[in-house]
Amino acid sequence: MAGLGLGMGGPSPGADSPAVDTSEMVHISALALLKMLKHARAGVPMEVMGLMLGEFVDDYTVRVIDVYSMPQSGNSVSVEAVDPVFQQKMLEMLGQVGRAENCVGWYHSHPGFGCWLSSVDVSTAQSFESSTPQQRGVSVVVDPIQSVTGKVVLSAFRTINMQQSIMGIEPRQTTSNVGWLDKPSTQTLMRGLNRNYYQLPCSYRKNEAEIRMLLKVYEKGWESGLQLQAPAQNKKENIQTVQTLKKLCKEYEKMVTTGLDADEVANVGKLNAKHHVEMEVESLMNRNVDQVLSTMIAAVVF
């Protein structure tokens, strides 16, 4: 199907050029997603921005492999335009360390007010799209405030050629990926979705190295057991444990003297003082042995 290119700098209406198919998917790596969220979270309540590195795999796939932040300053509602000098220097330095990917788009944050593009964002997006092959640059918006609920609030957009829109020409092909798109909010529709820009579906891909990295984030090694606790905190926990043991021992003595310890039916649903005494004693011994061992190792090493 023949169509028309996107972006303000695209071919004139009627030109016989392939249109960007909206069935394309934006694949974001785990590393890029974590760096975007961390950068956006650090900038709250101000907006921050950065560039996305990756590749256009084919006509239907945009892969985002890595991102890096830009030194632009922003306020709570807008962010400055991209610095081309810094961008060129950063790409040259990344090339020296083996990062040969090209810029496939940009990202910025909307702390607390959803994912959409303002008029300034649309202008920035158009400049990015004009510098990418077939004007396929992607604009990603992430909301670090709403993402704290456990679900990443992130959307990818691409602008619509206003000249084509005024003439009533469809700027893109309509394919079956509509079911993959998130239902837009009323605020997003009011901000120009499907008029000034359209949304692209996103997915998050992890390779084997990234899976191993994520699995080790909260993994505890053998050295964590030798971590030296503050003496005051250790003393406080020991006193609390001894007081708890004193109460449990009284409860267990009461059970033994009344003969309830042998009656399993009567003890159903009640506190098993004997079992809790064993657990507290084991915890107390392990904690103090680790503390003494860690102190001895620290004295010898340091």
Q: Which two tokens stand for residue 44?
A: 């709250």
Closest CA to 20 of 55, 57, 54, 60: 60
pTM of the model: 0.62
Q: How far is CA 173 from CA 21, 22, 152, 160, 169, in A?
A: 5, 6, 28, 12, 11
- Please report, to the nearest 10 degrees, the dihedral formed by the alpha carbons of residues 229, 233, 238, 240 taken in order: -140
Structure tokens at 142: 């992430």
pLDDT in single tens digits along all 302 residues of the chain: 333 334 444 444 444 445 554 567 899 998 899 899 999 999 888 889 899 999 988 878 899 999 988 877 665 555 656 677 887 888 888 888 877 788 899 999 999 888 999 888 898 888 888 888 778 899 999 999 988 877 899 999 988 887 777 777 766 655 545 555 667 778 888 888 888 888 888 888 888 887 887 787 777 777 776 778 888 998 999 999 999 999 989 988 888 887 776 666 666 667 788 888 899 999 999 889 888 888 888 888 76
Instruction: In whole angstroms, give the CA distance from residue 179 to residue 103.
Output: 28
Dihedral sign for Cα 26, 126, 72, 54, please. positive
